[in-house]
Amino acid sequence: MHGEPKAKGEAVKLTDGTLTEADAREMLERIRWPDGPRCPFSDCKGEEVYRIEVKASQRKSGAPVGPRHLFKCKKCRRQFSVTKGTIFEDSKIPLRTWIMAMYRMCASKKGVSAHQLHREFGLTYEAAWFMCHRIRYAMKEKTLTPL
């Protein structure tokens, strides 16, 4: 079934916390685009998309910038990532942390507070609160589109 972990190993990574950023990105790509990447822009919806790898670099201040995993549509020529149009868009919080937090919120019988996420994932309380609100918003939406 679409959106399920590829192997039992992925479910174990969620429960024991060994999910890497690459695993999280791969999982989101499989859930969002089971038949391969599509252009997310409403005025295009192109099906011919290719991957662009932007290497890690440094800012002028010397701070490291991680690699960016982008796609480019051949029809409209715009770049996008797997997070475009999702609750993860424009967030500086790692995708791995988002997925682990979603797992915790869904697996918990009594729910999870922002303060629990703050303690468990080492986030600021404000970032944890922001995540909780976005995740709850996505759970309330009536559309069944992937993330």
Per-residue pLDDT of the chain (147 residues; tens, 9 = 90+): 445 555 445 655 666 667 888 888 999 999 998 988 989 888 887 788 888 877 766 666 766 666 778 899 998 989 899 999 899 999 989 999 999 999 899 888 888 999 999 999 999 999 999 999 999 998 887 665 555
Question: Kindly report the CA angle at 31 between 54 and 102, in degrees rounded to 5?
Answer: 95
Comparing C-alpha atoms, which of 68, 63, 40, 36 is closest to residue 52?
68
Residue found by looking up tokens 């995708």 in the block = 95
Query: What is the full DSSP assignment across 40-74?
Result: --TTT--S-EEEEEEPPEE-TTS-EE--EEEEEET
